[in-house]
Homo-oligomer: A and B are copies of this chain.
Amino acid sequence: MTDSTKVRQKPGKRERLATAAARVLHEQGVEKTTLADIARAADVPVGNVYYYFKTKDQLVEAAIDAHGQNLQTIIAALDDLPTPQERLKALVGGWVDQRELAARYGCPTGTLAAELDKREDGLDRQIAKIMQVLLDWAEQQFQAMGRSDSRELAVALIAAYQGISLLTNTFRDPELMATEGCRLERWIDSLT
């Protein structure tokens, strides 16, 4: 009981750093983000960061993980819905809900992937895994809809999202995402 104060005060500095990193890296990009930026955002002294993460790359990895866990949460929520069509459309709906963020900074996973793909760290494989998870989940839904081309459809859906995120961001226009979202929902319905 005595330590509860301390425990409650810093409920995982490590986690706070990872969360802050996820946000700041999304907003500023990996290369333009300083360790100091992240430390500041997490309200952690710069020197202390290294107690939790040996290198900047490890912090980036933690940020990727955070995005991954976020995705897991989203998927878990979607799985409560009764039909695959509804699940897929709910996914699209979620994207549309985030359109303001996309207009400003693009898709968190997508922009991270684009940037990390320029490197030969394992980091690019890390982000690929997350993308894979989403892809697999979408594939399952299309399969549940009885489509034999489920993989292809899953790729098309995720690609459509990544692409419209990029355009939405490039033109700073959230409406692009909204319009494309409607189109994708109609498309899902048309697949029976």
Show the binding face of A for B, using Cβ within 8 Å.
27-29, 31-32, 105-106, 110-111, 113-115, 117-119, 124, 127-128, 131-132, 135, 152, 155-156, 158-167, 169-171, 176, 179-180, 183
A132 closest partner in B (C-beta): B171
Q: Are B162 and A158 touching (Cβ within 8 A)? A: no
What are 24 residue pairs bridging A and B, where the CB atoms are less than 8 Å apart in the complex? A28-B118, A29-B31, A31-B31, A105-B117, A105-B118, A110-B114, A113-B169, A114-B114, A117-B170, A127-B170, A131-B167, A132-B171, A155-B164, A156-B160, A158-B163, A158-B167, A159-B166, A159-B167, A160-B163, A162-B162, A162-B167, A163-B165, A163-B166, A166-B166
